[in-house]
Amino acid sequence: MEKRKLGTSGPEVSLVGLGTNNFGGRIDLEASRRVVDRAFELGVTLIDTADIYGNRGGSEEVLGQLLGSRRKDIVLATKFGMAMDDAGKLKGASRAYIMQAVEGSLRRLRTDWIDLYQVHQPDPSTPIEETLRALDGLVKAGKVRYIGCSNFSAAQVEEAQSTAKRLGLASFVCCQDEYSLIARDLEKDRIGVMRKHGLGLLPFFPLASGLLSGKYKQSAPFPAGSRLADPPRFAERFISARNWRLVEGLNEFLARRGHTLLELAMSWLAGRQPVGSIIAGATRPEQVEQNVAAVGWKLTPDEIAEIDRITA
| Burial class, 97, CB count within 10 angstroms (exposed 0-12 / middle 13-18 / buried 19+) | buried
What is the DSSP secondary structure assignment for residue 16, as one 8-state letter?
Answer: E
**Helix/strand/coil for 298:** coil
Q: Which residues contact 113 (CB under 8 A, 6 or more apart)?
A: 106, 142, 143, 144, 145
Q: What are phi and psi of 72, to 5 degrees?
A: -70, -15
Question: Can 53 be counted among the known catalytic residues?
Answer: yes
Contact call for residues 108 and 60 (beta carbons, < 8 A) = yes
Query: Rounded to a whole number, what is the largest CA-CA distance in the chain?
Result: 56
Three state DSSP letters for 49-74: CCCCHHHHHHHHHHHHHHHHHHHHHC
| Burial class, 255, CB count within 10 angstroms (exposed 0-12 / middle 13-18 / buried 19+) | exposed
Contact call for residues 94 and 59 (beta carbons, < 8 A) = no
What sign for the dihedral angle of Cα 275, 148, 82, 123? negative
Q: Which residues are the active-site residues?
A: 53
